[in-house]
Amino acid sequence: MGKVKIYSTPTCPWCKKAKDYFKEKKIEFEDINVAEDDKARKEMIEKSGQMGVPVIDIKGKIIVGFDQETIEKELAK
Amino acid sequence: MYDTIIIGAGIAGLTSALYASRKNMKFEVLATIFGGQFMESGEVLNYPGIVKTTGVDFAGKMQEQMKANNIKVKKETVKKIDKKGKTFKITTDKGTYETKTIIVASGARPRKLGVPGEDKLSNKGVTYCAICDGPLFSGMDVAIVGGGDSALEAVDFMKNVAKKIYLVVKGKLTAHEYLQDNLKNIKNVEIIEGETKEVLGDKFVSGLKVDDKELKVSGVIVEIGRIPNTDAFKGFLETDEHNHINIDCTTKTSAKGIFAAGDCASGHEYQYVIAAGQGCMALLKASRYLARFKED
């Protein structure tokens, strides 16, 4: 399975919640800090068409926000 | 038949749940999201006994405390309440519950500007959570709309993130004095007095129209207060002019057996400690009501 990417900012509560969720499930993910990484920020905006965090990329499926139900559905695929 | 159904899982609702659990009541907590608004607050410096925490850390601690007391929050949205004799029927998006009492702790949500362009550009430069999405505006110019505590806290948060901040205030600043004093020391903020008329932009925000002036900004952070989540109870419970559920000093609402606590209730001051106190009071009063209920 391709690595999960989480585009986040250090202060965003829902980003922390999302990261905690993946840690708890022992699913490896790449944490991308879009507050510092301009290139990644652009990539995130392009992929999701919006500017809210977190944005979670699971095998190319883009999920905006910590939407646990959708995340579980995608992980089960 | 439940003893009580708690609607909402912010501080008020979770405090009620904690007390309900310790009283061995038969209850459920129904909420659209766990954590309520504290998932969107930054630093917390005024909760008695806690020198400093953040909204998300506080939420984590509360989650731990719920687990320790075997309390589970059901992710359901309440649609309406009906009276059935002396009891109530609650209809959610997933089912129905019959209960003798109800604690409404449904909280509040950010107030919107209600101007053209706002909805279209929501999450495309318009945000209601500075600490969440603010860092995305790193090195850009932003407008923060509002003159209360949240707006000035957002300015403080954004001062090292944004290039320039326009603080758009309609009327006077209403934030606490220490926040207003702090504002004087922030170099990259300019106060613009006026009314927001339109959020400008095609795919993303490109500006904000304030009266006849156009501010060129990439981000608009809206901090103009909150509105209570009380739509589902309209007509069933008496509310004040801003739709907060009217309560007396013991959290009783206009309907016998229904209590309300926290930001959804009248007398709201949007404080963690008030929500916790009212959540506790509501459950204890519901418990007393139940004791008499059995005798009837």
Give yes or no for residue B187 having a pLDDT over 60.
yes
- Does residue A72 have a pLDDT over 70? yes
If DSSP codes are grouped into helix, strand and coil, which group holds residue B44? strand
pLDDT at B291 over 80: yes
**CA A8, A12, A16, A17: dihedral to nearest 10 degrees?**
-110
Flag if A16 and B56 touch (Cβ within 8 Å). Answer: yes
Give me the mean pLDDT over the B17-23 stretch.
97
Considering the entire predicted model, what is its pTM?
0.84
Find the mean pLDDT for residues B242-266: 96
pLDDT in tens, B101-135: 999 999 999 999 999 999 999 999 999 999 889 99
The model's pLDDT over A43-71, given as tens digits with 9 standing for 90+, comes to 999 999 999 999 999 999 999 999 888 99
* pLDDT one-digit tens code per residue, B45-102: 889 999 999 888 898 899 999 999 999 999 999 999 999 999 999 999 999 999 999 9
Average pLDDT, chain A: 92
pLDDT of residue B91: 96
Q: Which helix (H) or strand (E) holds B2?
A: strand B2-7
Three-class DSSP category at B246: coil
Radius of gyration of chain A (CA): 11
pLDDT tens for B32-49 read 988 878 877 778 888 999
Q: Could you tell me if B228 and B263 are in contact, meaning their C-beta atoms sit under 8 angstroms apart?
A: yes
Q: Which residue from A14, A34, A38 is facing B39, i.e. has the nearest CB?
A: A14
Q: Is the pLDDT of residue B295 over 60?
A: no
One-letter amino acid identity for B79? K
Predicted complex ipTM exceeds 0.85: no
| Burial class of residue B149, CB neighbours in 10 A (0-12, 13-18, 19+) | middle
Higher pLDDT, B252 or B55: B252
Q: Specify the pLDDT at position B38.
A: 80
pLDDT(A37) > 70 = yes
On chain A, the residues whose CB falls within 8 A of the CB of B129 are 12
Write the CB contacts of A24 (distance below 8 Å, at least 6 apart in sequence). Answer: none
Contact A50 B56 (CB under 8 A): no
Predicted local confidence at residue B294, as pLDDT = 64
In this predicted structure, the answer to whether residue B296 has a pLDDT above a threshold of 60 is no
Select from B132, B156, B163 the residue whose CB has the most chain A CBs within 10 Å, as the one to mutate to test that interface: B132
Is the pLDDT at A1 greater than 60? The verdict is no
Sketch out chain A's domains with CATH numbers.
4-75 (3.40.30.10)
Instruction: Using the predicted structure, report yes or no on whether residue B224 has a pLDDT greater than 90.
Output: yes
B123 near A52, Cβ under 8 Å? yes
**A39 contact B CB<8A:** no
At B272, phi and psi to the nearest 5?
A: -55, -50
**Residue B100, pLDDT score:** 97
Sheet holding B219-222, edge to edge: B126-127, B219-222, B141-145, B164-169, B189-193
pLDDT at B60: 87
